[in-house]
Structure 1
Amino acid sequence: MANEQTKVIAGIDTHADTHHVAVITDTGRHMADREFPAAGAGDQGIIDFITGFGPVLAVGVEGTGSYGAELSRVLVREGIHVVEVMRPNRQARRLQGKSDPLDAYQAAESVLAGRAATTPKSRDGAVESLRVLRAERATAMRARVAVMAQVRAILVTAPESIRAKYRAMTSPALMAALERTRPAGPVSEPLASTATVLKRLAVRYRHLHHELAQIDAELDAILAFHAPMLRDLQGVGTDVASQLLVTAGDNPERITTEAKFAALVGVAPIPASSGKTSRHRLSRAGDRQANKAIHHVVLVRMRYDSRTRAYVARRRQEGKSTKEIMRCLKRYVAREIYDQLRHPRPAPDAGTLRTTRTAKHLTLQQAADALHVWPTALSRLERGLSRDDVFHQRYETWLREH
């Protein structure tokens, strides 16, 4: 063992059944490595092993989002700084070979060299509950789509006596009608077996529909308690809000700048210039599910938000393509969402707008004409169904002047 003043860094290669731990000094000298079981006793053994060489500067853990999740939580509770380590470089693997001890030492060396500096998600709060609920929801959604597709496929080849009953029905009406049927006859007969299978599929569809409704209600309850103001943003609903919170994690303070958040969700502009051309393109990196969520927000705002529509019209006049405009909008949306995640602010009180307008005997149409917006957009703002802080301030100013 080294003297007590030796500072060490550990690297851990995690697996389903075992974890391999390697320890190096703060100067890079290899000290020891050992394999431990991936269980409660093994976690305590890892802590005793790495702390036995001296003060621990950091521990690089590979797979903090899978096999190393519980180990990372245990190390953090012990006051040990944990760093997320990516999979070792493939070129280095080809040159140096691969084994659990080599991977563990490479994890420690990545921390020492500064190549690994990411704080892992803590996975110990409400956001972890959102994550597991979303995982369940995703499989239920796929199963429901598969059931509907199977029903449609069976109806294509079903006897005409069955096809004729359901040919013009929409999907919800079709499933309700199939569930009410009472198939009769031996299953060896194609007509009876087809009707029986269709009824069972309709019953399965209803169960999946109810399961999804229950999951959505649980997601709503968590969001209402954990991040009630995130959904105040224009275009951010339950699905988008829950995904963005899962991406940020239970410890969003680990994302220290909004530029890092933009890179995390894949909306940071990527240079794509050459010669006399100077431009940027959409990023294809980052969390793709979070990128999809922000893409949804942009689509909603391009259709319903007056400020966004004005921005799109102006950039098109400048010669920007739709893809380039959406790239810019995604960056703006990411900045707004990051600010709301780190410093939540409630939406302005929309209830006072309608009260003030009616007290001054102004009609909705008069206000809409003066502000150059559709009456429906103004009505949604007054009822708190949409949020636009800039336009809210403009509307308040106009009401005060009249």
Structure 2
Amino acid sequence: MIVIGIDPHKSSHTATAVDPATNTDLGSIRIDATLTGYKTLIAWAKAWPTRKWAIENAEGLGHHLAQWLLVLGEVVLDVPTTATARVRELSRGGRRKNDRIDAAAAACVAALQGDARPVDPEGPADVLALLDERRTNLSNSRTRLVNQLHALLRQLLVGGAPTSLTAAAATALLRGFRVRSEVERARVGLCRDLIADIRRLDSQLAANEKQMAQTLDEHGTRLREVDGIGAVTAARLIGRTGRASRFPTAAAYANYNGSAPVQIASADTDRHRLSRYGDRQLNSALYTVAVVQIRMPASAGRGYYDKKIAEGKKPAAARRALKRHLSDHVWRIMLADEKRRCRLNEADPTRAA
């Protein structure tokens, strides 16, 4: 089977066909990143009926091409940029770099090094990732508007407004206010505009959460059975994790989300420090679940936290240990859900479609 490596860019893609048996460059083509260019690429690749595609950074610049090839029934692999960099470094010419070499490096890694992984068609996890990103943007916009409203109310009212300000509370504060000047009238008008914007964002956030819950029901996950995980947190965990089986172990997933502590490089091997690596959004979601469970006296997480405290750990260290424990638990649930969906799809092929 021939491996076709792809080095993607914003406006163009370079493809190089490599024979994995001899590591021979069989040819290369450069196309525009357009539908016409994609069709040209497929026509060129028909010279090798048995083929698979190795796309460098298939989750980034190569995402659109990778998904387009999957729809055509092609086998597509994702090759990390760090892996192709190693191949270039070890190849003849030292630090040579061009698009054709990058494409060949992607093919070599896919064929020989084992660093490539299959690309999956987009599904519910991608929908949840989009909804989570949309919710983050809506929340940031709402926070900015509330801060502006706070500033105006502080200029209008003695003592300003309470910290946990809502649209209804701000409306009630303005209802008893008497305008004494044109400047105050302008401030009140701006406050009313901001309140209307906040109400609109609150409605959009509610609709966003409802759509998350519906997608989770279709996805079929048991994450919401865990204390402290609702629709919003479950959507973030699944959306940012993707396919749980791409992590070979729970430790690999913990390293990915940054909950695995880093051992201090010294003679004292029992000491660890907080990891600053990994997906910080995933880490934040696990932290939220840990804090919620600690506040629930009857939860399993609180029992685990108390156990660590009894062992002599400080509260912060015990909380980090609980976060690491939750990472393992969440990964096992998502992995079990994925295996169950695969069994259902195998039993009923029309369900997958």
TM-score (norm 1): 0.71
Residue 63 of structure 1 and its aligned partner are, at CA, apart by 3.1
The amino acid of 2:217's aligned partner reads A
CA–CA separation in structure 1 for the residues paired with 2:135 and 2:178: 31
Cα contact 1:28–1:109 (8 A) shared by 2: yes
The amino acid of 2:144's aligned partner reads A
Change (3 A) 1:300 1:166: closer
The amino acid of 1:76's aligned partner reads L
- Find out whether 1:225 has 2:208 as its counterpart: no
Residue 89 of structure 1 and its aligned partner are, at CA, apart by 4.0
CA–CA separation in structure 1 for the residues paired with 2:150 and 2:267: 54
Instruction: Provide the residue aligned with 2:145 in structure 1.
Output: 147
TM-score (norm 2): 0.80
Provide structure 1 residue ranges, at least 5 long, that are not aligned to the other structure: 1-6, 346-402
Instruction: Provide the residue aligned with 1:339 in structure 2.
Output: 332
Q: State how 1:1-400 maps to structure 2 within 5 Å.
A: 7-26=1-20, 27-53=22-48, 55-56=50-51, 58-77=52-71, 78-86=73-81, 89=85, 96=95, 98-114=97-113, 116-120=115-119, 122-156=120-154, 158=155, 162-164=156-158, 167=161, 171-172=165-166, 173-177=168-172, 189-249=182-242, 251-306=243-298, 307-344=300-337
The amino acid of 1:48's aligned partner reads A
CA–CA separation in structure 1 for the residues paired with 2:68 and 2:164: 52
Change (3 A) 1:344 1:92: closer
Change (3 A) 1:132 1:309: closer
Alignment length, in residue pairs? 330
Change (3 A) 1:175 1:227: farther
Cα contact 1:179–1:200 (8 A) shared by 2: no
CA–CA separation in structure 2 for the residues paired with 1:143 and 1:123: 32
Q: CA RMSD for the aligned pairs? A: 3.3
The amino acid of 1:140's aligned partner reads L
Residue 48 of structure 1 and its aligned partner are, at CA, apart by 3.4
Provide structure 2 residue ranges, at least 5 long, that are not aligned to the other structure: 339-353
Residue 115 of structure 1 and its aligned partner are, at CA, apart by 6.1
Task: Name whichever of 201-210 and 92-101 sits farther off.
Answer: 92-101
Task: Name whichever of 320-329 and 190-199 sits farther off.
Answer: 320-329
Cα contact 1:12–1:61 (8 A) shared by 2: yes
Change (3 A) 1:48 1:252: farther
Instruction: Provide the residue aligned with 2:341 in structure 1.
Output: none
Change (3 A) 1:293 1:123: farther
Residue 337 of structure 1 and its aligned partner are, at CA, apart by 1.4
Task: Name whichever of 74-83 and 201-210 sits farther off.
Answer: 74-83
Task: Name whichever of 59-68 and 288-297 sits farther off.
Answer: 59-68
CA–CA separation in structure 1 for the residues paired with 2:162 and 2:236: 37
Cα contact 1:75–1:82 (8 A) shared by 2: no
Give the structure with higher Rg (CA).
1
Residue 38 of structure 1 and its aligned partner are, at CA, apart by 1.9
Change (3 A) 1:211 1:281: same
Cα contact 2:263–2:269 (8 A) shared by 1: no
Cα contact 2:66–2:76 (8 A) shared by 1: no
SS at match of 2:78: strand
Residue 243 of structure 1 and its aligned partner are, at CA, apart by 1.0
The amino acid of 2:206's aligned partner reads A
Change (3 A) 1:297 1:305: farther
The amino acid of 1:102's aligned partner reads I
The amino acid of 2:292's aligned partner reads V
Residue 338 of structure 1 and its aligned partner are, at CA, apart by 1.9
Instruction: Provide the residue aligned with 1:382 in structure 2.
Output: none
CA–CA separation in structure 1 for the residues paired with 2:153 and 2:18: 65
Residue 340 of structure 1 and its aligned partner are, at CA, apart by 1.5
* 1:272-313: CA deviation from partner (whole Å, max 9, x where unpaired): 242143334443333221121111111122221544334333
SS at match of 1:277: coil
Change (3 A) 1:132 1:183: farther
Change (3 A) 1:259 1:119: farther
Residue 141 of structure 1 and its aligned partner are, at CA, apart by 0.5
Change (3 A) 1:171 1:323: closer
Residue 149 of structure 1 and its aligned partner are, at CA, apart by 0.8
Residue 183 of structure 1 and its aligned partner are, at CA, apart by 10
CA–CA separation in structure 2 for the residues paired with 1:99 and 1:9: 19
CA–CA separation in structure 2 for the residues paired with 1:238 and 1:168: 28
Cα contact 1:60–1:107 (8 A) shared by 2: yes
Cα contact 1:20–1:33 (8 A) shared by 2: yes
